[in-house]
Copies of this chain bind each other. A is one copy, B any other.
Amino acid sequence: MKRVMLVVAYDGTGYCGWQVQPNAVTVEGVLNQKLSELLHEDIKVTGASRTDSGVHALGNVAVFDTESRIPGEKFSYALNQRLPDDIRIQKSMEVEPDFHPRHCKCWKEYEYHIFNAEFANPIERLYSYFVYKKLNIEAMKQAAAHLIGEHDFKSFCSTAAQTETTVRTIYGIDVESQGNSIVIKVRGNGFLYNMVRIIAGTLVQVGLGFYEPDRVKEMLEAKDRTAAGPTAPACGLRLNEIFYNVDKNCG
């Protein structure tokens, strides 16, 4: 028995998110099916980030246990031959049997893409949030700076979520202009349900002038979901990468 880690990229457009659900096509479900077919075992993967319907990933992480003698690094090639072209394994490797993608310490990087122009660009439509009013990027940068550090992000968490604590640490937020696109890159040690999309929705409201940048401080202090801005659409979000401290203990 060995444990294999997969780095998984997918276009979330055609999936009802990561997590297996009855009567819905999910990324986890497709991986379970294709791995089980490949290995003639009943494989169930465990994912790091259970991304929502329509959210994309360049580097989500999953593990599974198998009796197979295929070397860890060969699974990427074998699986990619069977997967639909909107899911592609970027890397595979054998890991320690106690490595768990959600319980082991890590930090994650997400990107949120906004297309800001008078008219939408059809080839960006599946991967960005279209905003036709001109956004003030400097104001968005000022607002984002208030979110950096350790904070209680309860105002930036969808109420459906139940977690022990809503305190998280954001290491950095970059708001960058790339042509007509605005990219918000967020790195942190963990993210609450819908947290990056609520951050993006709030920064868009700031960029439109509905809120002053400093208002974000009050939003954090309120610890109330209704204090922050709306949840921006799923298609603008992509999980870039998850970094594990693989040299040290999992805990």
A residues whose Cβ falls under 8 Å from a Cβ of B: 9-11, 56, 58, 76, 80, 85-91, 119-123, 125-127, 238
Number of copies: 2
For A122, the chain B residues whose CB sits under 8 A away are: 9-11, 56, 85-88
What distance in Å separates the Cβ of A49 from its nearest Cβ neighbour in chain B?
A: 16
Structural contact, A85 and B123, CB atoms closer than 8 A: no
Structural contact, A11 and B119, CB atoms closer than 8 A: no
For A58, the chain B residues whose CB sits under 8 A away are: 121, 123
Partner of A127, one of B86, B90, B123: B123
Structural contact, B89 and A119, CB atoms closer than 8 A: yes
Beta-carbon nearest neighbor of A11 in chain B: B122
Beta-carbon nearest neighbor of A117 in chain B: B90
Structural contact, A80 and B119, CB atoms closer than 8 A: yes
Beta-carbon nearest neighbor of A91 in chain B: B119
Can you list 9 A-B pairs, Cβ within 8 angstroms, ordered by A? A9-B123, A10-B122, A11-B123, A11-B125, A56-B122, A58-B121, A85-B125, A88-B122, A89-B119
What is the bound-complex CA distance between A86 and B126, given in angstroms? 10
Structural contact, A88 and B127, CB atoms closer than 8 A: no
For A126, the chain B residues whose CB sits under 8 A away are: 123
What is the bound-complex CA distance between A126 and B127, given in angstroms? 12
For A56, the chain B residues whose CB sits under 8 A away are: 122-123
What is the bound-complex CA distance between A58 and B122, given in angstroms? 8
Tell me whether A119 and B85 are in contact in the complex, defined as CB-CB below 8 angstroms, given that A11-B125, A125-B11 are known contacts. no
